[in-house]
Amino acid sequence: MKIMVVMGTRPEAIKLAPVIFALRRQSGFRVSICATAQHRDMLDLMLRTFSLKPHIDLNLMRPGQTPNEVLQRVIQGMDKVLEKTQPDLVLVQGDTTTVLGAALAAYHRRIAIGHVEAGLRTFDKWNPFPEEQNRVAVDHLSDLLFAPTQTARRRLLQEHIPFKNIFVTGNTAVDALVWAAKRPHRFEAPALRRLAAHKRLAVLTLHRRESFGAPMKRIFETLRNAAQERPELQWVYPVHPNPHVRAMAHQLLRHPNFTLVPPLGYLDFVHLMKKCEFIVTDSGGIQEEAPSLGKPVIVVRKATERGESLGRWSQLAGLPNGLKKAVLALADGKWRRPSRSNPFGDGRAAQKIVRIIRQWGKNV
């Protein structure tokens, strides 16, 4: 069976790497990797981390592209690739513009689509934008839908997607995390090695489009105020490469309790999460990963598609009062670790996905 795995961003590489490894361990699969390079530098960093080399690289990244321009380039590039390679299955993950473009190109060529991380919803088409509508469309184009949880499966059934096409597997983010957390690691940057020796750390990440501008300014100001009230806590912020984000971060987080670092490699970041006490983020992947490390998460978004952990491992924090209150509560130790394990998986999602693909291949 010929399988083409398509990826364009850092999270896609992280979450598809376990599936690629699991497919390669089995006979009967011819796996090729196609990189769109929607996010060139961040994708390349992850490919090196997992020792993955794309067979095809569309190299689509251009400065200042709009989502429509990215989508157009992905569809056109993937159409030529699919015409030449004729895979039996195109495997995509998540909800980026790469995912939507690759799925549309495969659908127009009548090639089967497998969607890893299917069924996530906020039911707000603007949050996250454009990811919410991307994943809805991709789910309805897909032939194999790998839902991370029973909640995701129920959402797909409510949208009248056939029961026989939906499989609950857990999230492959947990597979990747388990692999990374077990690896012996020494931080590359001296600044991180010094921080790792600090007794109390908190981590901040912000990267979503809807966080940029005024919301990000409020987040930075709120966290700076919280840091002044809890000076014993040291904050680490791997700053998003967007120049406007960098400028605002260096202006508003100029404080002795904040250390701003460039974007981190995956292993560095996983081991930083292991060391910290809690995380403030707008990331979906961190909401999935943190429970496996026993870390609580404050989500600075209006809504989350990962509600399975809300109230136990994570909380939505409004701005600014809700965020500051949540940060101070965690800094003061007012959180009890849940007895339940990570709701997003046990580290064996990729194995389940491969078994499902093999069985599907026998029936088509």
Positions marked catalytic: 95, 117, 131, 207, 209, 240
Strand 166-168, strand 201-205: pairing: unpaired
Supply the DSSP string of 173-187, one letter for each residue.
HHHHHHHHHHS----
Q: How far is CA 273 from CA 146, 270, 297, 347, in A?
A: 27, 5, 11, 17
Instruction: Tokens 């790998």: give the residue.
Output: 146
Distance CA 202, CA 242 (A): 22
Distance CA 138, CA 208 (A): 20
Query: Quick one: which of 198, 354, 177, 184 has its CA closest to 283?
Result: 177
Judge contact between 283 and 207, C-beta under 8 A.
Answer: yes
Judge contact between 124 and 303, C-beta under 8 A.
Answer: yes
Tokens in use for 291? Answer: 């429970």
Provide the 10 A C-beta neighbour count for residue 53. 10
- Residue 29 has phi, psi (to 5 degrees) of -115, 130
Tokens in use for 113? Answer: 């689509």
Query: Quick one: which of 129, 55, 68 has its CA closest to 282?
Result: 129
Distance CA 286, CA 266 (A): 12
Distance CA 91, CA 88 (A): 10
